[in-house]
Structure 1
Amino acid sequence: MHTHFMSRLQAGLLSLLVLLPMMAQADERSDFLQKVYLSFCAKHFSDYGALRASLTEQQLPKLPPQQAQHFLQGRSGDAWPVPYKGEFGQYVLVLTEGDSFCAVMARRSDAVATRQWFRQLAMAAPAPLQARALGEEQVLTPLNGEALTQSWQWATEHAPRRLQLTLTTAKDPQAAIQAMVSLSLEDR
């Protein structure tokens, strides 16, 4: 994507950062998941390498590689625990190698509230991008059992790259990870 397009897209996403927190939130944990996703994955989508460098420079504690593998799901990369109310262990930020994928995982998050804000976000693609639902599917995960995955795409008709927004929510209230929301930059 050329620089002008990326800067317009970034400006559009920043306006979403201002608007979305005003939307009603049914669940505090879902609200926190949204804030972390917007603050890291959405805000820095055009340069996850710079985000990684910033997190490293701030000396934020990274999960050891063995623990990070649980969250990377077979990919190479890094994972950082995100504090919630002063405690670690509820949220994890994941950046994969290649700097084209960012995800936030929540141990606990109300599925209905999380799906609601995700859908509102996904449908609100900033101009000139167009939002398109890619569908949803029921998946069976080894760690969390049955889950629902919803995916959306933001792109222009002729852009060489597109953004894919994905949310997976577990049905089991005791699942190890109840929600994972990601943003990836993909070539057409």
Structure 2
Amino acid sequence: MHKTLLPLLAVLACQTALAASDGQKQADDFTKLYSSTCFAYLPELDKLTEKLADFPPVPAEDAQNFLRGYNGKAWIVPHEPENYVIAVMPEHEHCALYAYHADAARVEKQYLDFVKKPPEGFTAEPYEDTHDTIDGIKTHTITYQWKASDSEDKPTFMLTTSTDPQSKIQAMISVAILAKD
């Protein structure tokens, strides 16, 4: 019995390690893409739009799903094992990155590591942390704002994740600049 159980346990351990590393790579890639696009170009979303011009656009009728009622454009960003979508809404200083599948716990950890360490001169403040069910799909949304006493602008970061396999989008991270209250 031990002779058959040991190889089975070894295979299961390898599959678990591979799945964990895939989930970590997926979260790393998602975070790196967000950091190098939406976050890096937030003050200059027009420049990001220029950079994205070489990527395939999301067809206009489908783009509205990513633009959430705002004017803007969305692009498909090729990635293995599946593509991401970036939506840019310059009029609202708003940019979002969507992943069809993601390891929610890993993405949330990386997001929190990022937003809790604002640049010098800013403080990070939790704004919202909610669990919702929309059309039977459970989601978790975490929102933070960075505030500076000498600025009217508040960079606001929002992450929505879902562990539901039926969810069409399992991670969406966005940043927008909001005016002070």
TM-score range, shorter chain: 0.7 to 0.9
Correspondence for 1:139 among 132, 143, 147: 132
CA RMSD of aligned residues (A): 2.0
1:171 deviation in Å?
A: 3.1
Give SS of 1:46's match. helix
Correspondence for 2:146 among 140, 154, 174: 154
Q: Which has the larger radius of gyration?
A: 2
Give SS of 1:103's match. strand
- Aligned-partner Cα distance in 2 for 1:46–1:131: 18
Does 1:181 find its partner at 2:176? no
Give SS of 1:47's match. helix
Give SS of 1:52's match. helix
The share of aligned pairs that are identical, in percent, is 26
Post-superposition Cα deviations, 1:9-49, rounded to whole Å, max 9, x if no partner, equal xxxxxxxxxxxxxxx99522111110110010111111101
Q: Where does residue 36 of structure 2 map in the other structure?
A: 39
After TM superposition, the score normalised by the length of structure 2 is 0.81
- Aligned-partner Cα distance in 1 for 2:106–2:56: 29
Structure with the larger helix share? 2
Give SS of 2:31's match. helix
110-119 or 131-140, which moves further after superposition? 131-140
Letter in 2 for 1:81: I
Cα distance 1:139–1:76, how it changes in 2: closer, same or farther (>3 A)?
farther
Higher relative contact order, structure no. (Cα contacts within 8 Å, ≥ 6 residues apart): 1
Correspondence for 1:60 among 43, 55, 80: 55
Give SS of 1:98's match. helix
- Aligned-partner Cα distance in 2 for 1:186–1:41: 15
Does 1:80 find its partner at 2:72? no
Q: Where does residue 26 of structure 2 map in the other structure?
A: 29
- Aligned-partner Cα distance in 1 for 2:126–2:69: 26
Letter in 2 for 1:127: E
Letter in 2 for 1:166: M
Instruction: Mark the runs of 5 or more structure 1 residues left unpaired by the alignment.
Output: 1-23
Letter in 1 for 2:74: A
- Aligned-partner Cα distance in 1 for 2:92–2:156: 14
Poorly superposed stretches of 4+, deviation over 6 Å:
none
